Structure 1
Amino acid sequence: MLIDAHQHFWNPDRGDYGWLSGPFAPIRRIFTPDDLSPELAANGVNATVLVQTWSSVDETRAFLTLASATPFIAGVVGWVDLTAANVADVIAELKAGQGGTYLVGIRHQVHDEPDADWLLRPDVRRGLQAVADHGLVYDLLLKPRELPAALKTVQAFPHLRFVIDHIAKPDIRGHGFSAWAELMAPFAAERGHVWCKLSGMVTEADWENWTLVDLQPYIDEVLRLFGPSRVLYGSDWPVCRVAGGYTKWLAALKQAIAARTAIEHAQILGGSAQELYRLSLSDIAK
């Protein structure tokens, strides 16, 4: 079972997509399941996790409804305002609504917050407790700047499952391995409840010229720190389209882990995602 643990859909005319400009302009258009389905079929991908794209509960509701009607979507990582006093009630309402059983996680664009310590705010921590109480995962969307606060956060919530998206977006193009690896190293002690996604790497590299040589040290370090049972594959589609596309990234990842055992392959390419998000894969045949 091959699971893509990180993909998106969007309509740039119905949300906050100011970043879809400049070099990202080629992907400033509507993306739907009909666009992704051929990519999944061509690469033998069985199921996906659909991830929020902007700060909108309405988007989360729409994604849950879409999941209930789309055979390959096994889970949805949505958005709620963690700082809201009623955040627990909002999560409960989402779970009780249409497609609510597909809600597997919550995410916020932490790396866009002016405050590098945003995760440490008391109101945010109250929201994280609500995520934990509802049995959901919290996706950490970070850059290296936010890793110290993220480490304190995962240490403070040992009962909450976390996943670091896009390996925390190191500066692969600028050869930022050492600084990133130093900040990531302490998370190894927390891997009992922290996972890491091998996703979003190609857009942190040289879009036009990246090769596996550029990515391999990062992939190897993530696997060393977290182990295959806590590492999972994600495409970051359609963002990956600006840097080689779906097939090129997945082929590179498979080559990067070619020397690993069949069991480790199965974990990285599907098992870890299923365990992290507690996916009910029988639903992909709905």
Structure 2
Amino acid sequence: MIIDAHQHFWDPARANYPWMEAPELTPIRRAFGPANLAPLLKANGIDASIVVQCRSALEETEEFLRIAHATPSVIGVVGWADLTDGDLGDTLDRLRTLPGGDKLVGIRHQVHDELDADWLLREDVQQGLTAMFARDLTYDFLVRTRELPAAIATAQAFPQARFVLDHAAKPPIAGGGCDEWTNHIATLAACGNVWCKISGLATEAIWNDWDAERLFPFVAHAAKCFGEDRLIFGSDWPVCLLAGSYCEIKDALEACLARLGGQVREKAFGVNAMAAYRLV
């Protein structure tokens, strides 16, 4: 099974997405749903996808579960739930009783938008993670370089848990990279319980001036650190449309992974996502 492990659905006419207010995001400030994604998956030889949260609202998680229930190609939902809520366990149990609840595979919070770089280390957040891991869910890190130390400490605090690093922590590709990102990625990977999504990289480059060659050093570093068993492909559609079409993004990442070996590419396009999210 070939899996796109990171895609989104949204409709700005029906809900508020604070991160989408920047003028440069106007091209994607419209509705995107399963009917828009289906032909792209078919055209690019993708069998299934995992839909990932876009806003901090349980209503969205519930909606994604309904979509997953009605859409066979959506095999997993990484939703949102309030990690600071003392009743988080009950909330997660309730979500799993809903139609599509069996496809809830993980939780994510937009940590890089928090003012506190150490938000992940707050006592209430750590308690929430404990409740989440007790239910065998995966946690997606949405962080940049600034928050990587807290992500490292969190992965170390839960050695038996599963974490997925979204977008390789958004390396500063447009600026040529930085040693801080490079070093932190190596330390996080050394935890052993973190997978890394090779997703969202083109939008960290200069949108109208990038190619696979310029993405490759960042993919290669992630591969060196995480190894062939912990790299995961994700399109980051429709955010990726800011920098290129679905096909352009997929082909560029496939080319990068293929340079690292056929087995690296093969595992990143399915097997590793299934392991990270306990997909069956």
TM-score scaled to structure 2, two decimals? 0.97
* Structure 2 equivalent of residue 40 of structure 1: 41
* Structure 1 equivalent of residue 9 of structure 2: 9
Counterpart CA distance in 1 for 2:114 and 2:208 is 29
Matched residues, number: 279
Q: Secondary structure at the match of 2:259?
A: coil
Superposed, which structure 2 residues align to 1:1-286 within 5 Å?
1-20=1-20, 21-191=22-192, 193-280=193-280
Q: Secondary structure at the match of 1:195?
A: strand
Q: Secondary structure at the match of 1:6?
A: strand
Structure 2 regions of 5+ residues with no counterpart? Answer: none
**2:220–2:260 Cα contact (<8 Å) kept:** no
**1:154–1:162 Cα contact (<8 Å) kept:** yes
Q: Secondary structure at the match of 2:64?
A: helix
* Structure-2 change in CA distance of 1:81 and 1:69 (3 Å): same
* Structure-2 change in CA distance of 1:147 and 1:56 (3 Å): same
Say which is worse superposed, 182-191 or 130-139, in terms of deviation. 182-191
Counterpart CA distance in 1 for 2:214 and 2:231 is 19
Q: Which amino acid is the alignment partner of residue 68 of structure 1?
A: H
Say which is worse superposed, 247-256 or 78-87, in terms of deviation. 247-256
Structure 1 regions of 5+ residues with no counterpart? Answer: 281-286
Counterpart CA distance in 1 for 2:242 and 2:57 is 25
**2:151–2:188 Cα contact (<8 Å) kept:** no
Say which is worse superposed, 174-183 or 106-115, in terms of deviation. 174-183
* Structure 2 equivalent of residue 284 of structure 1: none
User: Shift in Å at residue 263 of structure 1?
Assistant: 2.9
Counterpart CA distance in 2 for 1:119 and 1:38 is 38
Q: Secondary structure at the match of 1:19?
A: helix
Aligned alpha-carbon RMSD (Å): 1.1
Q: Which amino acid is the alignment partner of residue 178 of structure 1?
A: D
**1:195–1:231 Cα contact (<8 Å) kept:** yes
**2:258–2:264 Cα contact (<8 Å) kept:** no
**1:137–1:162 Cα contact (<8 Å) kept:** yes
User: Shift in Å at residue 105 of structure 1?
Assistant: 0.1
User: Shift in Å at residue 188 of structure 1?
Assistant: 2.7
Q: Which runs of 4+ in 1 moved over 4 A?
A: none
Counterpart CA distance in 1 for 2:214 and 2:248 is 14
Q: Which amino acid is the alignment partner of residue 190 of structure 1?
A: C
Counterpart CA distance in 1 for 2:179 and 2:153 is 21
Counterpart CA distance in 2 for 1:59 and 1:132 is 21
User: Shift in Å at residue 16 of structure 1?
Assistant: 2.7
**2:4–2:46 Cα contact (<8 Å) kept:** yes
Q: Secondary structure at the match of 1:74?
A: strand
User: Shift in Å at residue 259 of structure 1?
Assistant: 3.4
Counterpart CA distance in 1 for 2:252 and 2:164 is 22
Counterpart CA distance in 1 for 2:260 and 2:120 is 35
User: Shift in Å at residue 232 of structure 1?
Assistant: 0.2
* Structure 2 equivalent of residue 283 of structure 1: none
Counterpart CA distance in 1 for 2:225 and 2:70 is 37
Counterpart CA distance in 2 for 1:25 and 1:5 is 25
User: Shift in Å at residue 262 of structure 1?
Assistant: 3.4
User: Shift in Å at residue 177 of structure 1?
Assistant: 3.6
Percentage of matched positions with identical amino acids: 49
Q: Which amino acid is the alignment partner of residue 136 of structure 2?
A: G
User: Shift in Å at residue 180 of structure 1?
Assistant: 1.1
Counterpart CA distance in 2 for 1:208 and 1:16 is 28
Q: Secondary structure at the match of 1:151?
A: helix
Counterpart CA distance in 2 for 1:169 and 1:95 is 31
**1:177–1:218 Cα contact (<8 Å) kept:** no
Counterpart CA distance in 2 for 1:159 and 1:239 is 32
